[in-house]
Structure 1
Amino acid sequence: MDGPISVREATLADLDRILDVHAKARTAYYRAGGLALEAAPSPETERDRRTGWTSAIRGPDQRAVCAVADGDFVGIAAMGPPLSPEVDAGTAGQLYQIHVRPDSWGRGVGGILHASFVRCLEDAALPAGLLEVWERNTRARAFYARNGWRPDGGFRPGPDDANYICLRLESAALLPSREHAAT
């Protein structure tokens, strides 16, 4: 990957490439977290993954984007309203997932996809972002911490007695506002 990275809206024609990036990234982060591949949570069936990504692409309240370099998919992200019915959708948006192809780690792809999510929050005038990350995914946890995300105290059980930790991004940690960028 030598060319610039661009982000564009995902389309239904992208599903196979999206599922490929998703599978490669998921396998890599569970392995890096010390989980034997056979002990990793069984991935949803291809049909279920396809359905989830189709919803993110088509859903009126959701958004799916692809990071592309040299015509190749290097990352994907999905976002939308909070998954928990206990969270007011007028107060936060949720980053459902960012996946970067492992051979593109460290090249800024995640940062570009993250900035796309932050722009969605700003465009919707939402003061906060939510996400979950597997506690053993130290690479992702460090990435989110560098981008201002902090644990909010919530969690849910994950594989191998390692939880998924709930993180929150407050408006003060978002990208500089357009108003400040103009000065």
Structure 2
Amino acid sequence: MDVREATAGDLDDVVALHTRARVAYYGAGGLTVAEIVTPELAREQRDGWAAAIAAPHKHVRCAVADGRLVGLLAMGPPHTPEADAAQLYQLHVDPDHWSRGVGSALHGHFLRHLETEGLAVGVLEVWERNMRARAFYARHGWHPDGTTRPAPAHTHYLGMRRPHP
């Protein structure tokens, strides 16, 4: 598996992988496909990924195995003003490649980003019903920070932090 910078040419594959991942984790959390995949959300998702790939202050990485996109990482400055931190915006692995080390490899790229930028802490948000992701982040040293914001289905996104040694 190789991890490389995403390009505008990756956009279709990025959106397709993100959609598959969202259907898997939101579905496991009780949402229906009709709640997860709508034309409006599809447009927002495509526009968001295109903007992230083009933004000079954000970094999008693609994990590629056998010529196929199998994982995504998006990172950059925190959404809330916080000195000495970077935000892990999104980390998605194609459900067909879960438990094969793709997520851990991408997470390692985030940690290297913290180190390269000389930042002391990583921040992220995770959907409270995404137990798989919450367990993944806990295994990788992340801890809840007590922050929340509204999420689909009257739930919350939970804030997490990870100090960089």
* TM-score (normalised: structure 2): 0.94
- Contact 2:22-2:36 within 8 A present in 1 as well: no
- Contact 1:66-1:76 within 8 A present in 2 as well: yes
- Contact 1:79-1:97 within 8 A present in 2 as well: yes
Q: Secondary structure at the match of 2:72?
A: strand
Equivalent residue number for residue 176 of structure 1: none
- Contact 2:121-2:164 within 8 A present in 1 as well: yes
1:38 deviates by: 3.0
Superposed CA deviations along residues 35-54 of structure 1, whole A, max 9, x for unmatched, are: 22334485754332222112
1:56 deviates by: 1.7
- Counterpart of 1:80, as a letter, is G
Q: Does residue 65 of the first structure (1) align with residue 61 of the second (2)?
A: yes
- Contact 1:55-1:62 within 8 A present in 2 as well: no
- Contact 1:100-1:110 within 8 A present in 2 as well: yes
Query: CA 1:164/1:54 → structure 2, altered by over 3 Å: closer, same or farther?
Result: same
Equivalent residue number for residue 13 of structure 1: 9
How far, CA to CA, are the matches of 2:127 and 2:40 in structure 1? 17
Q: 1:156 aligns with which of 132, 142, 149?
A: 149
1:136 deviates by: 0.6
Q: Secondary structure at the match of 1:68?
A: strand
1:158 deviates by: 1.4
- Contact 1:41-1:159 within 8 A present in 2 as well: no
Structure (1 or 2) with the greater strand fraction: 2
Query: CA 1:126/1:43 → structure 2, altered by over 3 Å: closer, same or farther?
Result: farther
- Counterpart of 1:160, as a letter, is A
Q: CA RMSD in A?
A: 1.5
Equivalent residue number for residue 116 of structure 1: 109
How far, CA to CA, are the matches of 1:127 and 1:166 in structure 2? 17
Q: Secondary structure at the match of 1:157?
A: strand
Paired positions, count? 165
How far, CA to CA, are the matches of 1:39 and 1:73 in structure 2? 25
1:99 deviates by: 0.8
How far, CA to CA, are the matches of 1:107 and 1:43 in structure 2? 31
Structure 2 unpaired stretches of 5+: none
Q: Does residue 49 of the first structure (1) align with residue 45 of the second (2)?
A: yes
- Contact 1:134-1:165 within 8 A present in 2 as well: yes
How far, CA to CA, are the matches of 1:112 and 1:163 in structure 2? 27
* TM-score (normalised: structure 1): 0.85
Equivalent residue number for residue 167 of structure 1: 160
Matches within 5 A, 1:1-40: 5-40=1-36
Superposed CA deviations along residues 98-151 of structure 1, whole A, max 9, x for unmatched, are: 111000000000001111111111110010011100011000000000000000
